[in-house]
Structure 1
Amino acid sequence: MTAPREPDGRVGPAPDLTPFRPRWAPVVGVVLSILVLAGVVLLFVFVQPNAATRLGIGDYLLVVVVAGLLLGILWRQSSVSATPTPRGLAVRNLMGTTRLEWAQIVSVRFSPDRAWAQLDLADGDQLAVMAIQSADGERARHAAARLAALVQHYGTALDA
């Protein structure tokens, strides 16, 4: 008797397709965002114009623009993720989102000396998966193992 086939044609039970997200990056992002906003408010409230500090509208706009850029970076860092589907993996990192088919992923590498998991791709490139961060400890090791299981399950050609 053979193992049952899944709806996608694979043998055996389908692995967990829950998205990968870091535990601490969103917490740090929220705390730092609050500090940036508080700093801007404190600057606007407590820096009073005098002979030494003459702030014009351009100065205030510059502060708002810099604070906005910082908040954007913190938001992006807080929202890193890797979303698996039966067709592939969408990796959202700080600088962009990359969509991969499972067959493009050769292996998953992760160890305590790495900041985050890394994918080895069929074209020889590597892609960081910032959603699996070593700062998350054992949780990250389990996530890397689950991602490797997904690559193993979906990345190979279907049996005829």
Structure 2
Amino acid sequence: MIVVKRFLLTLMLAAAPLAPVHAVQPDEVLADPGLEARARAISRDLRCPVCQGESIDDSNAPISRDLRLVVRERIMAGDTDAQVIDFVVSRYGEFVLFNPKAEGANLILWLAGPSVFLLGAAGAFVYIRRRGQPIAPDVALSADEQARLRDLIGK
């Protein structure tokens, strides 16, 4: 029995780094599980202004805690998810969105990746098509050239 307990403890310790880490503190959690799930979903889509690579749900930065509290306050006030996100964006700009809206100047960023891919694919297509074509048109060799060719290849 002790062997099984040790094995399970070892397994749990080995799997601990794989578990998701959330910075949400117990005092931030809403009592209603449905509202808390909405808050978590919104928090995963908002970027920490300090950490930049983490969502506010995962970040331990003080600004992320403040943003998590604002999200929960807005939800408790009856705002929809879109209204909560618009409120945060109005204060911090579109930088806080992991997936900015595809409109205005952001449209250039959304279209840049597919455009570069299509240009690269077209360039590769043209390169491959040209590579298979002969460089010069087929011209019959003169008698001297044919004799020299036979000497070179050994016939």
* TM interval, short-chain normalised: under 0.3
Query: Comparing both structures, which one devotes a greater share of its residues to strand?
Result: 1
Q: Report the TM-score when normalising by structure 1.
A: 0.24
Greater relative CO (CA pairs within 8 A, separation 6+): 1
Query: Comparing both structures, which one devotes a greater share of its residues to helix?
Result: 2
Q: Report the TM-score when normalising by structure 2.
A: 0.24
